[in-house]
Structure 1
Amino acid sequence: MDKLGIINAIGPILAIIGVAGIAGWVVTTWMRIKNGYPLDGAWGQAVYPKTGDEAMERIKLLSQENAQLRAELGSLKDRLAVVERIVTDEGHRLSHEIEALRRPAN
């Protein structure tokens, strides 16, 4: 087999690998931009996003939201504990307590 035959056999495979590598790089870069990750320059320095007032404001808002969600989670845990206590309580004791509340106080 001559050199031209080898190039004709291997050339399309190398072209497909090259195009797949470039497409993967483009998709990876697009996903990093979309999700707010910094891009790396030629020497590894961060290109985007730059830290500034907008980034600090975003961090502050996310911290506030995190605190609100933690408070809500705490209240939900308390409510769940009450529900678990009611569900796991013995049935006869609960019915006695309900009947005691229905009777008029003397």
Structure 2
Amino acid sequence: MIEFAPFLMVVAIVAIISFTRLQRARLNAGEGRGQGDADAQRLQGEIRQLKDRIAVLERIVTDGDHARGIALEREIEALRDAREGAKQ
């Protein structure tokens, strides 16, 4: 039995270190999930703001007199043309 004592101590030390590393990895993974939730909430807020802006823009384009809508349509087309020209 005395001959196996050093071997058993090495096995016990390796087991303790492995267990500690696993616990640390679990804790770090838990912290990462909290950050992911905060990022997801922030992104959902940004999406909500963008949807609100789009709704306002749609209201501006569709409401009002017909001449104003045509003028806005021409401005939008001019911006698209300018952007496409800049890409090339």
TM-score normalised over the length of structure 1 = 0.37
TM-score normalised over the length of structure 2 = 0.43
Which has the larger strand fraction? 1
Which has the larger helix fraction? 2
